Structure 1
């Protein structure tokens, strides 16, 4: 899921059936990332899976970084490296760690907290007004995470996986604010490419040290390649294309569909059940995010 600010809006069509279809497609692709992680996590391990994912995603987006090279200074590179840790390396690893221990839907649902965490960080760290609506949504969202963490699936407690997902979402929210503050003078597509490349550099040594000794099955390789190419590289490029056409706020509605597709794909392809606690937590978290984005009028 993306955490960088928006490019200026190029055009905003009043009614465009393609926009709805593209938003659904993006939600489906991002939701699929939790399925891919769930399949490959045990064979790869967190760091090797994340580094491989980042490598493939970076290769897809490198042309966007090259295109913006004239506007990038040395100070930007250090910032991209640091923010690559917060926006990709750390949250991707937390989600991968959780995928080893809990159903794919757990991470997908926890991921929905990103929007609320971004608002919380903006309020606490940058003095932005949060408003009554977002404050209520934050409280509701945290209640949803508590319910998600307290649930059990097939007799296993998923608390740690749910908390890892919430921590990853907090990283996304923190990174979004820091990127807006420190990298606003670069095209967002270049920021996304640079942060992914920085995250790849950071995770590569850890991947090399923890690379599994046993051969990795072809199915897991296919999932990680799809995770990098489809759910990271192409999805980011697709997302920014939407931002340029319809604006950031409308494009962000794709994230509302991530938990729905994450749970649906896991049920369809892995046979993972939607438990009552997951359904309740998902409804509360998703509802709180949508509520926080509604206009007061």
Structure 2
């Protein structure tokens, strides 16, 4: 199958990294008119609406034993992280948010070993270490990427990456019989109505005070439809045809695109940035390698 080809998987990783690497800028734009709660709810609601035709079509695929895992994928894998990231970006840079997101593969491997008896390869551990070192280097690489900029709001993103890891492992372990389209559409079917109900509890009238709110709503619409609905379809399909850790390694590539957005915004890129990017890509390669004996 095409999904099982290494080159195709790497292509999807790069596409996902570009989409999610761009999502942090879209969050910042959306927060200019909307509160973190409103922005998070809109992101989930718009993604759910975009997926609704697929959700209805796949309703017959739901089995009673799948319900728990689909709820975990929906709420733990998408709903709560959407709000955590919005809250965090009220106090930290979008580029730093993208970099902190690279913690996801670390937690994915840990959750898999602790709760799903997932075997691991020593090269996988080396890849995780190199990727994390590269992401850390990007944070320390100057010109707006200082570790001193991290504050307590960064822990919202750390918590979100823990949630991602739980969801990724749950999908891989409990829902292998469902396609990526089925997992994504059905999980969003549950969280969409919750997001809508929560949105109506917020002060929507205050949004109109900013005359540019339609532009900011468009940014959130792009974030919901492309950065959430389409991206989750790709991600859940990738999880089904590769290891959970390999799929989550997309978060190591995201900082590269965060840096690129910074360059477009007038920031400088140095040889140190390029060296860190090399570490990240080397780590992703080692994580996705096959044929190495697994250790329980």
| TM-score w.r.t. length of structure 2 | 0.75
Residue 214 of structure 1, CA deviation: 3.7
Any conservation in 1 of the 2:105–2:128 contact (CA below 8 Å)? no
> Partner of 1:132 in structure 2?
122
The SS at the match of 2:92 is: coil
Give the RMSD, CA atoms, in angstroms. 3.9
Alignment of 1:1-297 (within 5 A): 9=1, 24-74=14-64, 76-138=66-128, 153=144, 157-211=149-203, 213-215=206-208, 217-238=213-234, 247-248=241-242, 255-268=251-264, 270-271=265-266, 288-295=283-290
Residues matched between the structures, number: 284
TM-score (norm 1): 0.75
Query: Following the alignment from structure 1 to structure 2, what is the Cα–Cα distance between the partners of residues 174 and 132?
Result: 22
Unaligned runs of 5+ in 1: 1-8
Any conservation in 1 of the 2:41–2:199 contact (CA below 8 Å)?
yes
Offset, 1:284: 6.0
**Deviation sequence 1:49-89 (CA, Å, 0-9, x none):** 11111111112222332232222135544542343111001
Match of 2:33, SS?
A: helix
Provide the C-alpha distance between the structure 1 equivalents of 2:216 and 2:261, rounded to a whole number of angstroms: 16
- After superposition, the C-alpha distances for 1:149-178 in whole angstroms (9 at most, x for unaligned) are 889949973233433222212211111112
Deviations 1:30-51 (A, max 9, x none): 2211110122124212221111
The 1:275/1:211 distance shift into structure 2, 3 A limit, reads: farther
User: Which structure 2 segments of 5+ residues have no match?
Assistant: none
Alignment partner of 1:199: what SS?
A: helix
